[in-house]
């Protein structure tokens, strides 16, 4: 029986290039070391200009996809998670892991994601959206307007970026100006949200895993050593991640229900990971959803998998199976 040819796409023209390389390296390692009897693997590096390379040689995407039976998407951020590469693969009718182009586009755009949450009765923080062009023109004026009309502190985020890139907390005018300018570097729009102080949690879901239509992994409790779960907390060991989280049973059940609901509301496929904040009096708020959760050594889905007696290579094999079924 011939092996299934898998192209692992990693890198990409986004601020999450290095994270994607690490996810891709783990996927390649699992395929080559533990699943080599089933899959033949090609490492597809997409550089920061968006050009595809196989074995160090530049190749057109339309030529590359002819060499695969299926693609494992190990990309993060722009191009990889916003629906662009998904749309390209759909055009060539190439099976791939993760959500389709529409679900990816919605999941990457925090404004569209929050609309999906609100439309489905999922509680999410109050927000305001500001054009980055206006911030670059007069950040001081926008900061003063926000300070007068929005309850402080606030969380400032680029609308379409992941891994907490460009995210900050602002409590006063000075921090507002700084945070707005930083977020505006990463996207055309900036999202300003009320800051909800509470316990952070994240929950992964996997379609068709262990006989369940939508299997929920154990909720992870995140205890950042910085003020919130920023890029350093995620990838530089500056947080404690407790799996399973130390939540009461009713909170665990509610988190599981919400993770399933988010996955369906945004129209996602195969797997996702939703981030929550649990306020002691106001309840659980969903912050955002990750359509291609990281699979690095520091990532949360692999830690959740180990907590239920699974591992990354079982997930990779399962996801490739889902993609090929389509």
Question: What's the pTM value of the predicted model, to 2 decimals?
Answer: 0.90
Give residue 225's pLDDT. 74
Query: How far is the CA of 78 from the CAs of 19, 47, 85, in angstroms?
Result: 13, 13, 9
The answer to whether residue 107 is catalytic is no
The catalytically annotated residue of 168, 274, 290, 304 is: 290
For 250-271, write each residue's pLDDT tens digit. Answer: 999 999 999 999 999 999 999 9
- Known catalytic residue: 17? no
The pLDDT of residue 239 is: 79
User: Is the pLDDT score of 237 beyond 70?
Assistant: no
Tell me how far apart the alpha carbons of residues 316 and 262 are, in angstroms, rounded to a whole number: 22
Catalytic residue among 39, 215, 235, 285: 235
Residue tagged active-site, from 20, 82, 275, 304:
275
Give the chain's domains with CATH numbers: 4-97 (3.40.50.20), 108-124+198-325 (3.30.470.20), 127-194 (3.30.1490.20)
Q: What is the pLDDT of residue 226?
A: 66
Longest dimension (CA), the chain: 68
CA quadruple 185, 189, 194, 197: dihedral positive or negative? Answer: negative
Question: Does 235 have pLDDT greater than 60?
Answer: no
Residue pLDDT, tens place only, 86-111:
999 999 999 999 999 999 999 999 99
User: For all residues of the chain together, what is the average pLDDT?
Assistant: 93
- The question of whether 290 is a catalytic residue gets the answer yes
* 12 belongs to the catalytic site: no
**pLDDT of amino acid 108:** 92
Please name the residue ranges forming H helices in the chain. Answer: 17-33, 61-64, 84-91, 101-108, 110-119, 132-149, 173-184, 231-235, 249-265, 300-307, 312-325
Q: What angle do CA 38, 42, 43 make, to 5 degrees?
A: 130
Active-site annotation holds for 236: no
Whether the pLDDT of residue 25 is over 80: the answer is: yes
Is 163 a known active-site residue?
A: yes
- Residue 74, pLDDT above cutoff 90: yes
Residue 238: band (very low, low, confident or very high) from pLDDT cuts 50, 70, 90: low
């Amino acid at each position: 029986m011939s092996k299934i040819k898998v192209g692992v796409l990693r890198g990409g023209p986004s601020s999450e290039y290095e994270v994607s390389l690490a996810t891709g390296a783990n996927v390649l390692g699992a395929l080559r070391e533990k699943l080599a009897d089933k899959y033949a693997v090609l490492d597809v590096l997409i550089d920061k200009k968006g050009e595809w390379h196989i074995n160090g040689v530049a190749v057109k995407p339309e030529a590359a996809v002819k060499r695969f039976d299926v693609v494992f998407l190990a990309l993060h951020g722009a191009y990889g998670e916003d629906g662009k590469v998904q749309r390209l693969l759909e055009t060539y009718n190439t099976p791939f892991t993760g959500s389709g182009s529409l679900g990816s586009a919605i999941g990457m755009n925090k404004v569209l994601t929050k609309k999906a949450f609100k439309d489905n009765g999922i509680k999410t923080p109050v927000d305001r959206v500001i054009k980055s062009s206006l911030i670059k023109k007069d950040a001081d004026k926008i900061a003063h307007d926000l300070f007068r009309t929005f309850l402080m502190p606030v969380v400032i985020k680029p609308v379409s970026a992941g891994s907490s890139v460009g995210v900050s907390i602002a409590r006063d005018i000075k921090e507002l100006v700084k945070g707005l300018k930083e977020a505006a570097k990463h996207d055309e729009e900036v999202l300003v949200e009320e800051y909800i102080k509470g316990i952070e949690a994240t929950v992964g879901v996997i379609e068709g895993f262990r006989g369940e239509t939508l299997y929920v992994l154990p909720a992870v409790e995140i205890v950042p050593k910085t003020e919130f779960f920023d890029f350093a907390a995620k990838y530089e060991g500056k947080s404690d991640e407790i799996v399973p989280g130390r939540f009461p049973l009713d909170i665990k059940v509610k988190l599981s229900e919400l993770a399933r609901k988010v996955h369906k509301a945004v129209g996602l496929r195969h797997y996702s990971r939703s981030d929550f904040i649990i306020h002691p009096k106001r309840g659980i708020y969903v912050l955002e959803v990750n359509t291609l959760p990281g699979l690095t050594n520091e990532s949360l889905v692999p830690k959740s998998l180990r907590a239920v007696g699974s591992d990354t290579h079982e997930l990779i094999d399962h996801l490739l199976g889902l993609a090929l079924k389509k």
